[in-house]
Structure 1
């Protein structure tokens, strides 16, 4: 029987946490959940990932495939090609689903006309974060149950807990392979860029399911000034990609974002003197602004199309 949902877990060189995630998912959804399959996509791992897949070969709901082209977006598109299900639910390889996650998922995909679904993501810290780090920065919430606002629909949901209707994903030709993580190199925004194309094609056809939540691992190395600054810079640098229109509009958007984010960072600087947690906002704002300033040049040199590259 063709499954209604494929839970796709894309991974590369993360065997230990992958094993934990699969074990948790198996214990939560069961051995053979009705009309559901679990598909692991190995994106060119050189560690024990194949051995982890072999360990779960006795799980009736589980199978695995490989995608040799490095890049999370390529791996996600491989899941699309390998699945016959009408819905693909992309789950990070370090995300633990909540007890009611599968029921909430089934309720969301039953909504007529919906093509994009998602749920909240709560941080699961490896160790208590430092005083300057804002835990809310890694918490993803999307409001009450129901459609996102029209503006939020263009942002979409976080890719670590994201469902897309197959027919819609095929209609927009999947994820942009130039965006997202590529072989360990930090990349962001592939979900936002996809959400924008889905809205252009289908309108606001989103659904937020608050009970479809996950706890996402937040390792200590991500709570360092270096990583926070780098991530914010990359996010700002490629923000122009998510804006429709020509080069001028894209460059103008990046310029406005640069000024706004840098200004926000500077305004928070005095507060950081008395409240260490404000340092996170300072670092994030200044770094995002710097990245967006670089994005102005890249946008001006782009092809002028929605997905044009620098």
Structure 2
């Protein structure tokens, strides 16, 4: 479990999604999203952090430090750390299996660091040995291929540092990357931190340009607190720095050939550790830009679903939707606008009554219910593109001939249109949407196959939930 005590005062910056309401009395946002009531002492600090923008704000006294601590805990603000030399505290573990050219580039970028290469039974064992020796890395070899998780565990057993950086052999890192990540661990609650992983490739093919916009390992340009139900729910282990203490309960599950990183991150979260994504550091990862390899990798990621559902029941449902919102949308699609409006109004009234004791005005309940209606529609569209893609593609074919199919198609395509507007990829809109549909279907096919083979419906079954959480207090 995390060490006790509060972290030293550090600058914090406002999360871009968080919104102050009613003069700062409430915050809408966080990880996961919710309604947080702020005490009078917290409101002024929250407003000043929001107004400070990307430069952030340092708490001025013990009271503000406690407020910052609570907002960090809820994902409403994020730490702004200052890079400093400290790499002696970390050992870098690099699992390797052939691909000597990529391993050479990886180790070249790590020169000067404490590096352990774990050769996972490469065919060219001598080539791996020469590279490790040339770059000053220690070498451990598996006699038989055991997979990336097992290789990382072997490397961990040969390291003594309090912080462990796991890095895939097809990654290259920039100078000072650890100096920028390790200060996160000044907060004793932080168990793991990951940089942003961006694609690396030669050429300018359609898939290369698509990868630049939508790499499966790229967790985005914004800092995130990784939590169940949050906008970012996992991190890849392509580049991941972990506190050794946080691995006391076990590192990577060796039986998992894919999804082992998701499993580890979820166990860290369940144990109470903070897991953070810091896009201020960018690591480059070799991208798959051949169509077959590109689609196959998405499929392979999806095949982890059954194993993850077995190890973490209930955490991999394709969509969680409010019963109120489901009823409202079904009625609206059935062309019964008045009953749909009545359901939404009832949901708003119920929420307004629940939060009235906290001093919230009805307008806050209207905002929350409206956001929930949109979010649940987007979640359904996401599932129709992925786990339920056969239904989703049928809806696209039947759009215009069926109200249900037209509504389903809108939930699938509207978020992709928004992606086009906000990210402006170097891919024309039609091909971008088609590639997004194909990659989501490839992943969803992996989920379907793994769930059917294991006879585990969890990754395919939606969860109908009660619509409102209780308000938090900061």
Query: If the TM-score is normalised by the length of the shorter chain, which range does it land in?
Result: 0.7 to 0.9
Output aligned runs, 1:217-236, within 5 Å: 217-218=286-287, 222-236=288-302
Residue 266 (structure 2) pairs with residue 191 (structure 1): no
Partner of 2:449: 294
Aligned-residue offset at 1:260: 4.8
Distance 1:292 1:301, change over 3 A: closer
Q: Distance in 1 between matches of 2:162 and 2:202?
A: 35
User: Which residues of structure 1 form unaligned runs of 5+?
Assistant: 181-187, 303-310
Q: Does 1:55 align with 2:55?
A: no
**Count of residues paired in the alignment:** 278
**More displaced, 125-134 or 68-77?**
125-134
Write the deviation string for residues 29-87 of structure 1: whole angstroms up to 9, x where unpaired.
xx3xxxx511111111122111212222xx3xx32222334211110000111111111
Give the equivalent residue in structure 1 for 2:214. Answer: 137
> Hey, what does 2:157 align to over in structure 1?
81
TM-score relative to the length of structure 2: 0.52
Question: Which deviates the most, 6-15 or 103-112?
Answer: 103-112
Is residue 39–residue 63 contact of structure 1 (8 Å, CA) maintained in 2?
A: yes
Structure 2 portions without partners, runs of 5+: 1-86, 320-379, 397-408, 418-426, 458-474
1:97 and 2:173 equivalent? yes
Q: 1:6 aligns with which of 91, 97, 100?
A: 91
Change (3 A) 1:11 1:153: farther
Q: Is the contact between residue 154 and residue 199 of structure 1 (CA under 8 Å) also seen in structure 2?
A: no
Partner in structure 2 of residue 305 of structure 1 = none
Pairing 1:21–2:91 present: no
1:256-275 residue pairs with structure 2 within 5 A? 259-261=384-386, 262=389, 266=396, 267=409, 275=430
By how many angstroms is 1:236 displaced? 2.4
Residues 1:216 and 2:304 are matched in the alignment: no
Aligned to 1:177: 254
Aligned position for 2:28: none
In structure 2, distance between residues paired with 1:43 and 1:246 = 28
**Which residue does 1:72 correspond to in 2?**
148
1:238 aligns with 2:272: no
Moved more, 43-52 or 282-291: 282-291
Distance 2:260 2:103 in 1: 22
Instruction: Give the corresponding residue for 1:163.
Output: 241
Could you state the TM-score of these two structures normalised by the residue count of structure 1? Answer: 0.76
Separation (CA, whole Å) in 2 of partners of 1:169 and 1:153: 24
How far apart, in 1, do the equivalents of 2:224 and 2:433 lie?
A: 32
Q: How far apart are 1:166 and its partner, in Å?
A: 1.3
Cα 1:264–1:165 shift into 2, 3 Å: farther
Q: SS state of the match for residue 276, structure 1?
A: helix
Q: Give 1 or 2 for the bigger CA radius of gyration.
A: 2
1:89 Cα deviation from its structure 2 partner = 0.4
**Structure 2 CA distance for aligned equivalents of residues 80 and 228 of structure 1:** 30
Deviation at 1:7, TM superposition (A): 0.8
1:117 equivalent in alignment to 2:193: yes
Asked if 2 retains the 8 angstrom alpha-carbon contact of 1:101 and 1:211, the reply is no
Q: Hey, what's the Cα distance between the residues in 2 that align with 1:282 and 1:109?
A: 39
User: Hey, what's the Cα distance between the residues in 1 that align with 2:150 and 2:266?
Assistant: 19
Q: CA deviation at 1:100?
A: 3.6
Contact 2:107 2:132 in 1 (8 A): no
